[in-house]
Amino acid sequence: MTRLLTLATLLLLTLVSGAGALKLRVFDPELQLNLGYGESSGGRMTVQLVRNYSGPVVLLFSRSEDERNEGLFLNLQPRYLGTLKAGQLTVEVGNTEQTLTRFLSGLKLSLTLQPVSQSFTLPGLRTTLTEKTAPEGGR
């Protein structure tokens, strides 16, 4: 009985510790348009990015409490600047730009990219592209 209880406890702890995930949000520079979202699971981060935006972006990362307690992603800053063009996201690290794939590989994460056709909506934020953020060649 004690072995069964120990095994059940270990299984439960494994499931709970896997519940936390590194999250990524991609916004326009004014933080008005949500242009992307990502979440890690295991060694993979799945990211959804809009295809119809070209321009500068802000990448916001948040670690789960479990990741903080375990000391994961210690060198990860909460905010990075980057560029999104035709569904391709680059991240400014120091004086260089890296693709999101290369950036995440430095965190020991692989990337699964899922393009979406329009920006995500958040309560209280505008949901349409403006002249400044409209793709080249019009709306």
Look at residue 72 in the predicted model and tell me its pLDDT: 73
Task: Report the distance separating Cα 118 and Cα 15, nearest Å.
Answer: 34
Q: In this predicted model, what pLDDT tens digit does every residue of 51-97 receive, in sequence order? A: 889 999 999 998 877 766 676 777 889 999 999 998 889 999 989 99
Give CATH for domain 23-116: 2.60.40
Task: Give the lowest-confidence range in 3-7, 106-110, 128-132.
Answer: 3-7
Domain parsing of the chain, residue ranges = 23-116
pTM for this prediction: 0.69
